[in-house]
Amino acid sequence: MTESTPDATGRDPDALRRRAGVRGDPDRDQHFLIDDRVLDRIPEYLPADADRSHVLEIGGGTGALTDRLLRTADRVTVVERDPSLAAFLREEFADAVDDGRLTIREGDALSIDLPAFSACVSNLPYGISSEIAFRLLPTGRPLVLMFQREFGERMAAEPGSDDYGRLSVSAQHYADVEVVEIVPPDAFDPAPAVESAIVRLRPRDPDYDVDDEAFFFDFVKALFTQRRKTIRNGIRNTAHISGLEDPAAVIDAVTAVDEDLLRKRAGSLAPATFARLTELADEHGR
């Protein structure tokens, strides 16, 4: 049954779940967001200048967030893996589907071809949030995504903080990352065991050049496996991860440019410094 025109506060998430005839299943990483206030705020976290002509939602569930996105976007595409939920969304939002404002794509967001989109707003399944985020980030579109709190705070962490790591460098290579809201477990049904975080990612080009992104990410990954070691020892010990053939030559090259850098540790280096190291490693060690 398609709901009649919703009121200004949006469709009730509990009513949507009743009509869909589903309950959340933690074993399937399925937690439905049921707090109307949080649902109403999520689309507002898109930057004011974001293009809302075609918003992508990963994991539509029973459509509580879909409903809010249809109020603020010209067009919405939802990718939903569960066939029964995809069918429910087509029925529940039949008018928007018929008008061409809503498209429901059934399939796994990790493997299907994603449509061209102008922005993405999603409450991501925790189990695939990292893979989805790094599929979306290279598109250069504004993103508002829900993660586990720990994951979101690690994405946004600054150099020198306990949370700063490979994830921080990789995400901030593509975007300015900001945790905009912490969401408690009781905003979901069933309640997850952890808090969640809504994260806004504003795309921008990095303030440094990287000729080989794949090597950059591998080199960052390698050094963070030795985050308690100095950069000197990290370079020496992780050639099997970074793919360096001559780590000693890289150390010599860094010594000639900035010997103090070799005494530092990965957790203190900004992404731009990693880029400088990557350039030297690429030139002298591969």
Residue 123 marked in a binding site: yes
* Alpha-helix runs per DSSP H in the chain: 13-20, 36-41, 64-72, 83-92, 94-98, 129-136, 149-156, 166-174, 213-224, 231-237, 239-242, 247-258, 271-285
Q: DSSP 3-state assignment of 243?
A: coil
Mean pLDDT (10-residue bins), the chain, 286 residues: 50 94 78 95 97 97 97 97 96 98 97 96 92 97 97 98 97 98 96 96 96 96 96 96 96 97 97 97 95
pLDDT of residue 137: 98
pLDDT of residue 25: 75
pLDDT of residue 20: 94
Q: Other CB atoms closer than 10 Å to residue 91's CB: what's the count?
A: 14
Report how far Cα 79 is from the mean position of its chain's Cα atoms: 15
Decide if 278 contacts 215 (C-beta within 8 A).
Answer: yes
| CATH code, 213-285 | 1.10.8.100
Report how far Cα 257 is from the mean position of its chain's Cα atoms: 35
Residue 59 marked in a binding site: yes
Residue 108 marked in a binding site: yes
Residue 234 marked in a binding site: no
At residue 132, φ and ψ (nearest 5 deg) are -65, -45
Residue 152 marked in a binding site: no
- Domains of the chain, by residue range, sit at 13-203, 213-285
Pick the CATH number of 13-203 from 3.60.110.10, 3.40.50.150, 3.40.50.300, 3.40.50.620: 3.40.50.150
Instruction: Name the residue among 230, 227, 225, 218 with its Cα closest to residue 281.
Output: 218
pLDDT of residue 47: 96
Structure tokens at 275: 């880029």
pLDDT of residue 8: 53
Interatomic CA distance for residues 67 and 12, integer angstroms: 10
Following DSSP, what letter does each residue of 64-82 receive, concatenated? Answer: HHHHHHHHH-S-EEEEES-
Residue 80 marked in a binding site: yes
Interatomic CA distance for residues 40 and 10, integer angstroms: 8
